[in-house]
Structure 1
């Protein structure tokens, strides 16, 4: 997959480029320091993934993404940020950002995010999950069935499928089906992020006792 980097800090660009260059299935296709440069490079290279800083020198990465969308650019955008406010999240949702990664993330976390986004899924850095939950209208668990909520509580407590099945007196196959539905309804990519959701909204405070 072809990847370009948009960031106004040379050291950040160089570090990200080094991480990408070490991967056999990824190609570092270009870089830019600002919006106009970014749009030129994107249109020229047609990358699969664009890693873009939220706060460029004199502009927002979100404005660059918005312009790219209006031009019909189909690249997927992963936002790099040191932090994100509710306003940032809302604007990011408006321009259909595909992923959010904190700049303090480990290289393997960034690579995991790239792989997920490339496959058409969204990625939210665990450090930003609580803010995402707070900005959601209503409770993110409103669509879950009672049994799915029980399974989510178990996920929040770190239980594996076998343990969940034993505790809730259901089969492991049924647990897998519930987990799949939970991920889809919460719009998260894996059980780790589902567990983070459970903790962020306080579900795990309702602890259960098991013999």
Structure 2
């Protein structure tokens, strides 16, 4: 009986070793989402799939950055809009403090005002929370290898923007910024008037230039007057 048990244990150990050699080291993941139920669901999904290890979880971007710096995960699965620290700022901070970790956005928001800042901040990929689990696993593996991953809806819209620049309407905030630019207001003054940071003003300007097909402030104002955006 003892011999049988020892032989069985050796066989099971050999099987585990063989599986590990076939699959390689597990991809380590950090979950960043302000909803505990979402984090629990994701943790359970990855626990049930071979080849993944969840190192930890955080409820906002600030906590996520600190954990990523400490735990050094392969992939950070990041929500965007979170109280106490949003995803876009966290993505940029991770690029500075934990550059090895790849950030894969997983969110319910698919508007350009969410998508573009996240990608510009350094996200490796952008998925929506209705992504099937199999596709999510594939995306995490791809992100760990540094490959760009975009949900079909996001990819289609980005391609449309590249093919038809200058046709997307400005958001209400972008129009406010442009109106102040037309009055000769500096970035610092715009930030003070709108109660936002200068970095955010620059981000809005970048989006305005892209949407209007303009290269600078003067060209953007001229195009806006020509199209009737500014009266």
Q: TM-score range by the shorter chain?
A: 0.5 to 0.7
Q: Match of 1:107?
A: 133
Residue 18 (structure 1) aligned to one of 44, 47, 50: 44
Cα distance in 1 between the residues matched to 2:104 and 2:85:
17
Cα distance in 2 between the residues matched to 1:137 and 1:73:
31
Cα pair 1:99 1:117 within 8 Å, conserved: yes
Cα distance in 2 between the residues matched to 1:108 and 1:31:
21
Q: TM-score, normalised by structure 2?
A: 0.56
Q: TM-score, normalised by structure 1?
A: 0.61
What SS class does the counterpart of residue 136 from structure 1 fall into?
Answer: helix
Cα pair 1:4 1:50 within 8 Å, conserved: yes
Cα distance in 2 between the residues matched to 1:81 and 1:49:
15
Cα distance in 2 between the residues matched to 1:93 and 1:10:
25
Q: Does 1:34 align with 2:38?
A: no
Q: Does 1:54 align with 2:69?
A: no
Encode CA deviations 1:37-66: one digit per residue, 9 max, x unaligned: 111211111000000001112442011111
Encode CA deviations 1:64-95: one digit per residue, 9 max, x unaligned: 11111122532000001212222323212221
In structure 2, the gaps of 5 or more residues are 1-26, 166-231
Cα pair 2:115 2:126 within 8 Å, conserved: no
Q: Does 1:129 align with 2:155?
A: yes
Encode CA deviations 1:174-198: one digit per residue, 9 max, x unaligned: xxxxxxxxxxxxxxxxxxxxxxxxx
In structure 1, the gaps of 5 or more residues are 140-211
Q: Which has the larger radius of gyration?
A: 2
Larger mean CA deviation between 128-137 and 11-20 belongs to 128-137
| Two-structure CA RMSD over aligned residues (Å) | 1.7
Q: Which has the higher helix share?
A: 2
Q: Count residues in correspondence.
A: 139
Cα distance in 1 between the residues matched to 2:121 and 2:87:
11
What SS class does the counterpart of residue 43 from structure 2 fall into?
Answer: helix
Q: Does 1:87 align with 2:117?
A: no
Structure with more contact order per residue of length (Cα contacts < 8 Å, sep ≥ 6): 1
What SS class does the counterpart of residue 73 from structure 2 fall into?
Answer: coil
